[in-house]
Structure 1
């Protein structure tokens, strides 16, 4: 049986309080063993005398005596452990490891630190603490540096407890002196709680790191997408301007050729006239010579007979009515530029069509917010239509509602990114729509412009379209608007309006600085009998 005890597992020689090899082991009446110092300190810090193992409560504090048999077994165990330790090769202390305080020359790695001696020991210098009775009572811990910091500066005892009241480490004497009425727990217990909290914080930090790594990937992905968009836009721009350059050069060459052909025709006509005139001059000179010779002849008979043939100049063309009219170039350049303008318009329409198709991908399902609607407005049940009613409804005058102007906002807002929506304005003679910032004045009549938080386009007098910029801009449109598309790029500071049916850009507010939420804005304006009674209708976007 004795041999069996010597071969028992190491756990049988560990104190359940300090979790280290027994020092002066004692046995309680319930049969459990503890270090004498450990059980005494445990009962000193407790309101009742209870066994830490089986929780048996003793009426009075038991008298404790060292368990001689167990003490001898522990000594043998220590010696056996020491022999195993001695047989193993000592490790030289590395940077970051605690060195032995007693090694000379080569500093070996410390295996334990003593809270009584305030020193750290390698396996060789640790032997006295494992064998000598006086030193075996010392409290050994895993090697640490700055052991002085682990001692109570006031009582010169190890800091073994944690005062929750003052949130500081204390020794056993502090509990009965300076911290008598405070709440304290063993340092190991506090360590476990703090460790759990630290592990929780570490998990949260790792989660935050992971989120930020994902955000980095998201940002990099956005940059890549932006780079792809930029490359596509550059390629498209180069292609468009290359085509335009070719068109300009082709039109210029055609213009020059047309002018040169006209000039060539004029020059050919002049050459023909000059040739004909030179022929007549030659004939006239010949006749002149004959007349001169005849006039100098002294043969009266011959002169009399021949002179009858020269009674008048030879027949020639009447050149008084002949002239060269310079070629007309009126309208030649204008027509060439007009043709170029048609080509340019076709290119622009193609570009706008592609741009409109891109922005339509950001379509938002906008619905009207009845809490913002002016009391004279009537909204459809699905929140997609608004028109001016005949009766002013009795509605609560909440801060969000427009009180004087016949307006209503959409429920959906934008504080980043892009969105797009379309509104049917067919059959109306007055309206205004666009986007507004959240803080606009809804209780007074104010000018609709970006300074006041409005980015809108309106129709008035049936055919006068204006972008309500500062100052407002009169828009020249080729056709009456039937459906208007509104696109917003928050970060870009852009608000654009499109003629959806004609695939044309109406107007863009650029360089805007948005600092708060933006809401879709609708106003069917005033109604004059049946005139302008048609509603504004939020239309589904094609392809969405």
Structure 2
């Protein structure tokens, strides 16, 4: 029998009860064939002997004999079907780990081609064939192979989950839609699947975008680390060079100090040696004269004694040593003078270091302008927003939340919430002023207590010569000269606020270890004009930048 004829007659060899190839086929008196076991079980479970195909009723249970000829045909069909299955399965793939295997295959499990939601079974290509050809099985619902088919059945009604309840956001069967969820909104699983799939596509795109952003952030962080390492290496090299020079200077000063002291001691010792040598020479002469006198005094020769007496009576010529002395060398002030000289050398070196540091912070210069919406009504601002002083008349201005109502203060327009910035202010001819930065959230409607705890990092001048850092506690500042131009530098992440005397290239004061959690604004207070004594303005001036490479602005106009 050919493969084509086998396919055409395949339904003839299937039992209409079990829908599988006949096993021990028997024929009923009405001429229909069944598996012997299938028809017996069917009649044993029913009250009458009814043919499942033509519905003919038999009064007594017919005697069923195996149809020998038909049984041989079924046997032949089985052999040909097995050969066909063997031939076709040779082209199929075995199920891989993690794949869905055929539930019917024995031995090597082939890869499932479809899963049946009615049979709750997955089939390879060969075992799927009855679902494609048998009339009773063609109505079964097939889908791409999946595992855990039981999870696709309604636990309550034992029906396939075919609908999606949008109200409860869950999958339901047909009976659920008319019983438990009858007032809810439903859509077919496929429709909801398409919608959710589109959402997943969008989510996937968003995730990929997030991944890309994070990769870029990793590159940015690595680049920052490289920049930091380069800066650290340069700083270490410069630090080593500076400290070696300082150590050499200290060593040189120490050697000079020791040489000075030892030279004084050598001078004292030389003077003492000269005196001692001269004294010993006189002692030698005196001893010689003493010996001659003693010898003459024992002489019995009258004439000899009288003749030599005149020459021995007078003492030999000697030096008057009464006022002669060797004074110990004085070393008072020697060490002090040496240290003072060293201090002068270190001071010159410190000035050079501060010049370098000032050039570095000037790279972060910000074009700060004053914010008129924050200015106290007594303050007068220039049109370009670069100058401010206190007038005698209170202007009629809107009392907006940003305005300083009580203190003669004003904010800059530019804010800082990360990174660094720097600006410079002329304070020449003023007797009172306050400069620095402040938190955005400070209370601008009350008298200000300027300290870090209240959100201020500032320094001030009072009475023309009293400088003070408004830290906690405040710090009196002893400055060598009165600053004419003050530089203000902020490193947000480092928690650093530093003030510089720009002309002297000297550090005035630094707030360190600060914790910034919100925006910072430049803060200016020209103070009251004191009858014209303090009428000069605070002037935000351009920064004379000598090193501009790698400039980084981390501020923005609000």
Q: TM-score range by the shorter chain?
A: 0.7 to 0.9
Q: Distance in 1 between matches of 2:110 and 2:90?
A: 13
Question: Do structure 1's residue 277 and structure 2's residue 294 form an aligned pair?
Answer: no
Q: Distance in 1 between matches of 2:286 and 2:180?
A: 148
1:402 offset after TM fit, Å?
1.6
The within-5 A match list for 1:183-332 is: 183-332=185-334
1:197 offset after TM fit, Å?
0.6
Contact 1:115 1:158 in 2 (8 A): yes
1:122 offset after TM fit, Å?
0.7
1:331 offset after TM fit, Å?
2.1
1:117 offset after TM fit, Å?
1.4
1:418 offset after TM fit, Å?
1.6
Structure 2 runs not aligned, ≥5 long: 1-80, 549-558
Q: Distance in 2 between matches of 1:489 and 1:117?
A: 71
- Partner in structure 2 of residue 386 of structure 1: 388
Deviates more, 1:125-134 or 1:187-196: 125-134
Q: TM-score, normalised by structure 2?
A: 0.79
- Partner in structure 1 of residue 171 of structure 2: 169
Question: Do structure 1's residue 490 and structure 2's residue 492 form an aligned pair?
Answer: yes
- Partner in structure 2 of residue 503 of structure 1: 505
Contact 1:92 1:108 in 2 (8 A): yes
Q: Distance in 1 between matches of 2:329 and 2:222?
A: 65
Aligned equivalent of 1:401, options 403, 406, 422: 403
1:180 offset after TM fit, Å?
4.5
1:141 offset after TM fit, Å?
1.3
Deviates more, 1:465-474 or 1:337-346: 465-474
* SS of the residue 1:313 aligns to: coil
- Partner in structure 2 of residue 336 of structure 1: 338
Contact 1:85 1:123 in 2 (8 A): no
Aligned equivalent of 2:467, options 465, 468, 472: 465
Q: Distance in 2 between matches of 1:173 and 1:465?
A: 87
1:401 offset after TM fit, Å?
1.6
1:364 offset after TM fit, Å?
1.6
Contact 2:419 2:491 in 1 (8 A): yes
- Partner in structure 1 of residue 355 of structure 2: 353
Greater gyration radius: 2
* Relative contact order, higher structure (CA 8 A, sep 6+): 2
1:131 offset after TM fit, Å?
2.1
Contact 2:153 2:160 in 1 (8 A): yes
* SS of the residue 2:128 aligns to: helix
Q: Distance in 2 between matches of 1:285 and 1:397?
A: 110
The within-5 A match list for 1:419-438 is: 419-438=421-440
Deviates more, 1:335-344 or 1:393-402: 393-402
* SS of the residue 1:521 aligns to: strand
The within-5 A match list for 1:113-124 is: 113-124=115-126
Structure 1 runs not aligned, ≥5 long: 1-78
Q: Distance in 1 between matches of 2:453 and 2:172?
A: 66
Q: Does the C-alpha gap of structure 1 residues 144 and 300 become closer, same or farther in structure 2, counting only changes over 3 Å?
A: same
- Partner in structure 1 of residue 146 of structure 2: 144
* SS of the residue 1:134 aligns to: coil
Q: Distance in 2 between matches of 1:417 and 1:282?
A: 88
Q: Distance in 2 between matches of 1:429 and 1:384?
A: 19
Q: Distance in 2 between matches of 1:232 and 1:289?
A: 84
Contact 1:152 1:170 in 2 (8 A): yes
Contact 2:85 2:126 in 1 (8 A): no
* SS of the residue 1:136 aligns to: coil
**Could you list the per-position Cα deviations for residues 494-536 of structure 1 after superposition, in whole angstroms to 9, with x for gaps in the alignment?**
1110011111111111122222222111111121333221110
Q: Does the C-alpha gap of structure 1 residues 443 and 318 become closer, same or farther in structure 2, counting only changes over 3 Å?
A: same
1:83 offset after TM fit, Å?
9.4
Q: Which runs of 4+ in 1 moved over 6 A?
A: 82-85
Contact 2:407 2:448 in 1 (8 A): no
Q: Does the C-alpha gap of structure 1 residues 415 and 126 become closer, same or farther in structure 2, counting only changes over 3 Å?
A: same
Q: Distance in 2 between matches of 1:526 and 1:430?
A: 8
- Partner in structure 1 of residue 379 of structure 2: 377
**Could you list the per-position Cα deviations for residues 262-281 of structure 1 after superposition, in whole angstroms to 9, with x for gaps in the alignment?**
11011111111111111111
- Partner in structure 1 of residue 136 of structure 2: 134
Deviates more, 1:248-257 or 1:473-482: 473-482
Q: TM-score, normalised by structure 1?
A: 0.81
* SS of the residue 2:530 aligns to: coil
Deviates more, 1:160-169 or 1:115-124: 160-169
**Could you list the per-position Cα deviations for residues 378-420 of structure 1 after superposition, in whole angstroms to 9, with x for gaps in the alignment?**
0111111111112111112222222221111111122222211
**Could you list the per-position Cα deviations for residues 77-102 of structure 1 after superposition, in whole angstroms to 9, with x for gaps in the alignment?**
xx9xx999927612111111111111
The within-5 A match list for 1:56-71 is: none
**Could you list the per-position Cα deviations for residues 182-241 of structure 1 after superposition, in whole angstroms to 9, with x for gaps in the alignment?**
433222122111100111111111111221222222222222322333333233222222
- Partner in structure 2 of residue 515 of structure 1: 517
Aligned equivalent of 1:529, options 528, 531, 535: 531
